[in-house]
Structure 1
Amino acid sequence: MQWSDAIGKRHDRYAETPRIVSLVPSLTELLVDLGLAEHLVGRTGFCVHPRHVVRRLPKLGGTKGFAIEKLRALAPTHVLVNIDENRREEVAALHAFVPQVIVTHPLAVRDNLALYQLLGGIFGRDPQVEARARALAADFERESAALSAQTATLPRQKVLYLIWQQPWLSVARDTYISQMLAAAGWDSLPVESALRYPEVDLPALAGQADWLLLSSEPYPFREKHLRQLAEQLPSTRATLIDGEMVSWYGSRAIRGLAYLRRLRARLP
């Protein structure tokens, strides 16, 4: 049996013992939750969950600008990458010495189900791996249904989700983040954008938003930023939001759906 990744490349079930490098933080966490921690041999410095596992793994730099020769020395059988998070030219260089480069690109919330199936299938030589993938899918469906039921009872709201300041950057509606927000009944601003992470006119868009959401990543917005914005935009309601729960896919998406359900319930 074969499974297709985000660029349509077909992958067989790996019959030997894998050596996996993950260059995507959320995928590192997912691999651990699939029971593949012992097969991880490298990660980025941003792969921080779960700490007790990743702290023993060699760090290869960032998701962009990773140390390719250090990665080569690890002799991986598989490297996991993402279209948004890794540079195309750096990923292309991996094909010269990595037997299997697995490309991911979840955009819709339900793309997580295909992701569980993809990795559970490729690394399912141990039946427990596929069993864990099925369990994650069941947990995802449960939390997704609970969020959908809640969303159906609430009015939709417009939100401005900020990921950076100086300049102020938000998210376009074709991003995974925006799709997660939409699942909670929050339609992100701007409505249209040629860029996936556009610079925005904060006062103008804040005036259109029911809520201003300040993410904890990649820019670490804190309480002091809420106080500053309260002075600049006194009529705008703003709150902090856990960026990992909204932008990390994989197994974190399950907790993300539950987190959004709780957050939406307390924000009228």
Structure 2
Amino acid sequence: MSTLPIGAQLAAPAAWRGNIHGRTQGVPRQFIWIFLIACLAWLPLGAAERVISLAPSLTEMICAIGAADQLVGRTSACDYPPEPLKAVPVIGGFGAPSLEKLVALQPTLIVDIALEDEALGGQIKRLGLRRERIICRTLDDIPAALRRLGSLLHREVAAEALATQLTAGIAAARQAATAQKNKPLVYAEFWRDPPMTCGKKTFLAELITLAAGENLGDAAARDYFPVSAEWVVARRPDIVLCLYMADEKKLPEQMASRPGWNTLPAVRNKHVYGGFDNNLLLRPGPRALEGLRLLQNCFQAATR
């Protein structure tokens, strides 16, 4: 009986299927070994992990590389993709798990980006549980994070393919953005009263730049910070992105009702956008290029 995996047996040429150890019917032996190595390269190696993810971006990556079946715990913020996560228990908030629930799930691996309370990391270590911190805050962190998860969860081939695709997409967008002139000035608003925007150190600011825009908040080397209405009016943004719940159709009218805002190019030309899936714009993960396309569509419409 052949010892080939089932998939390899089905794919093997009929001339030598089931005859690997004996004489082959005119097929050179080296071709058989090449075929076997190619098949084995796609097989996940090593035992499956029991992994708990404490960050939604990492949870998305785990599912994207085909390792959703290894997830035994997640946070309340881990909401995508919804279908495979339905059966995965929630053990707490983003970076803030219940230690009791975590231990009860008997994980072999815990992955996080950061913990709300770093003292918890010490407790996890004292319990003898394996914990891996995976940095994923910027666009360039995403491919490396995918590769690390692929290595940890024995999904190297799928992780490498996705990482390579993302790297190529990011590089192409950077080249196009660098070549583009007359980039629109973009004001991203996270809250209305008081107005709040994002600085240079945020993932959204990176996406805005990659989409060939200029982020209004880049003057501040900060994350998120409040601004005055006068500060926005004085800078006259070409585009406004609303990252909070609002009626998208009424946004231009609502913006125009603010003192002085009816003079802004973004408001006057109705280049005020909302209704986004914020996770595409704020979560560094495998869907980063989808978030990029959302912004590119907005910016291209505003610069026609």
Q: TM-score interval w.r.t. the shorter chain?
A: 0.7 to 0.9
Question: Is 1:166 equivalent to 2:193 in the alignment?
Answer: yes
Larger Rg: 2
Query: Over residues 15-54 of structure 1, what are the superposed CA-to-partner deviations in whole Å (9 max), with x where a residue is unaligned?
Result: 4321111111121111011111110011111211111111
Amino acid at match of 1:105: I
Counterpart check, 1:190 vs 2:217: yes
Match 1:109 to one of 112, 124, 139: 139
Pair 1:89–1:263, CA change in 2 (3 A): farther
Q: CA deviation at 1:154?
A: 4.0
Please provide the CA RMSD for this pair. Answer: 2.4
The yes-or-no answer on 1:148 pairing with 2:174 is: yes
AA matched with 1:120: G
Shift of residue 86, structure 1, vs aligned partner: 4.0
Corresponding residue number in structure 2 for 1:28: 59
Output aligned runs, 1:154-233, within 5 Å: 154-193=181-220, 195-208=222-235, 209-215=237-243, 219-223=244-248, 224-232=250-258, 233=261
Which of 125, 130, 140 is the matching residue for 2:156?
A: 130
1:76 alignment partner in structure 2: 107
1:115-143 CA distance string (max 9 Å, x none): 1111112222xxxx111112112321342
Q: Of 287, 291, 294, which residue of structure 2 is paired with 1:252?
A: 287
Is residue 107–residue 174 contact of structure 1 (8 Å, CA) maintained in 2? no
Does the C-alpha gap of structure 1 residues 195 and 254 become closer, same or farther in structure 2, counting only changes over 3 Å? closer
* TM-score of the aligned structures, taking structure 2 as reference length: 0.72
More helix by share: 2
**CA deviation map 1:1-26 (0-9, x unaligned):** xxxxxxxxxxxxx9432111111112
Moved over 4 A (4+): none
The answer to whether the 8 Å contact 2:75/2:91 transfers is yes
1:239 match: 273
Distance 1:167 1:98, change over 3 A: farther
Q: Secondary structure at the match of 1:16?
A: coil
Pairing 1:16–2:47 present: yes
CA contact (8 A) 1:161 1:170 kept: yes
Q: Pick 1 or 2: higher relative contact order, CA cutoff 8 A, min separation 6.
A: 1
Any unmatched runs of 5+ in structure 2? 1-44, 267-271
Structure 1: stretches of 5+ with no match in the other structure: 1-13
The secondary structure found in structure 2 opposite 1:234 is: helix
Match of 2:26 in 1: none
